[in-house]
Amino acid sequence: MVDFAGWWMPVQYSSIVDEHLATRQAVGMFDVSHMGRLAIEGPAAHGWLESLLTRRVADIAVGQARYTLVTSDEGPNGVTILDDALITREADAADGTPRFAMVVNASNRDRVVAWLRSKLPAAGLLLTDRTADTAMIAVQGPLAVATVCVLCGDDDAGRISGLGNYRATRAFVAGQPAAVSRTGYTGEDGVEVVVPAAAAADVWQAIHDAGASRGLKPCGLGARDTLRLEAGMPLYGHELVASSDPFAIGLGLAMNLDAAAGGPRQFPGRDALARMKAAQPARVRVGLAFESKRAAREGSPVVVAGRDVGSVTSGSLAPSLGHAVAMALLDREVAAVGTSADVLVRDVPQAAKVVPLPFYKRPSPRG
Amino acid sequence: MAEMKFAKSHEWVRPEAGGLATVGISKYAVEALTDLVFMQLPPVGRKVKAGESLGEIESVKAVSDIYAPVSGEIVEVNAALPNQLDTLGSDPYGAGWIVRIKPDDPAEMSGLLDQTAYDALVKS
């Protein structure tokens, strides 16, 4: 168990490798209740979010989720990345009031909430931190949806299995009211389920029991990290930091600089981000594959032809591949796929090659 | 067979015939590390002081040092071990031995934990 942003969490329940492979081959379940969950509701919600997030919110449909960055216009670059987040438009309230749910990183929750509160309009918006009174369970892997659907009525099960990626719905899971989204952080198919905190242990146990015959394993932070690393997903504090150029780390997809109808959007740091997009970044995010199992760790220097060209941001054995991989920020000139590099692991050079991200892609991604 | 002793840092050491001492890591340590991926052995002939790192063992989680439980010279290493790390789990006190040390002072071992004291340490 480790202290993770103030949450006491298991690195592993059994073995990182076993948990990782269970998620790739069957189903893994993760207690991700540490992630910050915010509710944003009110007639002003659309316009307010549209004015704050790097992703367009104006045209988001009910039941749709988008990956976005939360930025301020502070800092030497004219933009500071406060966090990456998932914004979901939930079904409107009975009286027609729009409602959104936002999931942020545990480590950034306090400052994101403080930032959002500092931007609240005088009226028409309610921002509530729901982290403590809800729990979030990620169920991931090829058998994840089937496992959760066992615990739902026919209508809910049909709706959940029919959800597209980055789509969300309300359902009763194990008899408990839940927000279910076809999202995750593993590179596998799966869902994330938010339930009332009081029901968390019962829902966890029900999913655990429903998955037992399918090879389900509960998974800790260790497997969560190796899974997202293989899937080439950045992690705030590692690949993505406050001063990052999102375009240099492959997060252009989280940037809607312009409105759908054309013309610039207005959100904090937008113009600085537009300058970053137009410029060539000095360093870009790459994948490195090693021959050995020995992992480079964050901060390991990368050397090409005797020259220091960058450093590792995350590294581990890739359990699905059987060798070590790493993500690194490297000088653009040496970032081409196929480039040979030495990574200094505890001062010992380990041979690596630049490879395309992600390292792992699931065999038959659904549409 | 002479009595096996343990360091608080989870290495074991066992005096052998001929004045040598065999060193490994405890079953508890292997189980706590899990998912071993890499081991770095010291060169034969290196002198180590008790408490000094003589090698590294890496799991998916983290890298850990292996500390010398006694001072002396490394006279033999289990060269096959890094390529079959499973042996550490299946036979940590036998085929999973790591190095043999020629102790400077065999009496140094009396300061280490016996099996009972070590078991109590890892249970607490």
Q: Say if residue A258's pLDDT is above 70.
A: yes
Give tens-digit pLDDT for B113-122.
999 999 999 9
**Residue A52 and residue A200 in one domain:** yes
- Return d(Cα A36, Cα A43) in angstroms, integer: 23
Q: A190-196 and A176-181: which strand pairing?
A: antiparallel
- Return d(Cα B73, Cα B71) in angstroms, integer: 7
CA nearest neighbour of A281 among A317, A252, A242, A315? A252
Instruction: Report CA B7 to chain centroid distance, whole Å.
Output: 9
Option in A16, A226, A294 nearest B58 (CB): A294
Peptide bond into A358 cis (omega under 30): yes
Domain extent for B41: 5-106
B-chain residues near A222 (CB < 8 A): 60-61
* A250, part of any domain: no
* A182, part of any domain: yes
**Residue A56 and residue A149 in one domain:** yes
**Residue A183 and residue A288 in one domain:** no
Say what the pLDDT of residue B61 is. Answer: 87
**Contacts (Cβ under 8 Å, ≥6 apart) of B71:** B47, B48, B49, B50, B103, B104, B105, B108
**Residue A208 and residue A307 in one domain:** no
Q: What is the CA radius of gyration of chain B?
A: 13
A-chain residues near B31 (CB < 8 A): none
* B73, part of any domain: yes
A-chain residues near B35 (CB < 8 A): 15-17, 317
C-alpha to C-alpha distances, A118 to A35, A82, A111, A356, nearest whole angstrom: 21, 14, 10, 40
* A172, part of any domain: yes
* A53, part of any domain: yes
- The complex's ipTM? 0.79
* A272, part of any domain: no
Give tens-digit pLDDT for A196-233.
999 999 999 999 999 999 999 999 999 999 999 999 99
- Return d(Cα B114, Cα A39) in angstroms, integer: 57
Question: What's the number of domains chain B is made of?
Answer: 1
Option in B34, B56, B63 nearest A15 (CB): B34
Q: What is the CA radius of gyration of chain A?
A: 21
A292 touches A349 (CB < 8 A):
no
Task: Give residue ranges of A with CB < 8 Å to any B CB.
Answer: 11-12, 14-17, 222, 226, 292-295, 297, 316-317, 319, 324, 346
Say what the pLDDT of residue A367 is. Answer: 45
Distance between the two ends of chain B, CA-based, in angstroms?
A: 28
* B121, part of any domain: no
B23 touches B11 (CB < 8 A):
yes
C-alpha to C-alpha distances, B79 to A36, B41, B95, nearest whole angstrom: 48, 8, 11
Q: Say if residue A305's pLDDT is above 80.
A: yes
CATH number of residue B96's parent domain: 2.40.50.100
Q: Which of A177, A196, A223 is the last residue of a domain?
A: A223
Q: Select the residue from B60, B83, B85 to test the A interface by mutation, using most A Cβ atoms within 10 A.
A: B60
**Residue A1 confidence class, pLDDT cut points 50, 70, 90:** confident
Query: Average pLDDT, stretch A40-65?
Result: 96
Q: Do A222 and B60 touch (CB under 8 A)?
A: yes
Q: Do A324 and B56 touch (CB under 8 A)?
A: no
**Residue A366 confidence class, pLDDT cut points 50, 70, 90:** low
Q: Which of A203, A223, A243 is the last residue of a domain?
A: A223
Q: Do A293 and B35 touch (CB under 8 A)?
A: no
* B123, part of any domain: no
**Residue A199 and residue A303 in one domain:** no
* A256, part of any domain: no
* B15, part of any domain: yes
Give tens-digit pLDDT for A311-357.
999 999 999 999 999 999 999 999 999 999 999 998 899 999 999 99
* B45, part of any domain: yes
**Residue B3 confidence class, pLDDT cut points 50, 70, 90:** confident
Say what the pLDDT of residue A364 is. Answer: 73
Strand blocks (E) in B1-124:
5-6, 11-15, 21-25, 36-40, 47-48, 53-59, 63-67, 72-77, 99-103
* B115, part of any domain: no
Question: What's the number of domains chain A is made of?
Answer: 2
CATH number of residue A140's parent domain: 3.30.1360.120
**Contacts (Cβ under 8 Å, ≥6 apart) of A364:** none
* A262, part of any domain: no
To the nearest whole Å, the CA of B117 is away from the closest chain A CA by: 25
Q: Select the residue from B30, B31, B33, B35 to test the A interface by mutation, using most A Cβ atoms within 10 A.
A: B35
CATH number of residue A324's parent domain: 2.40.30.110
Give tens-digit pLDDT for B66-115.
999 999 999 999 999 999 999 999 999 999 999 999 999 989 999 999 99
A138 touches A29 (CB < 8 A):
yes
Q: Which of A223, A243, A261 is the last residue of a domain?
A: A223
CA nearest neighbour of A206 among A174, A235, A231, A178? A174
Domain extent for A355: 282-360
Query: Average pLDDT, stretch A63-90?
Result: 97
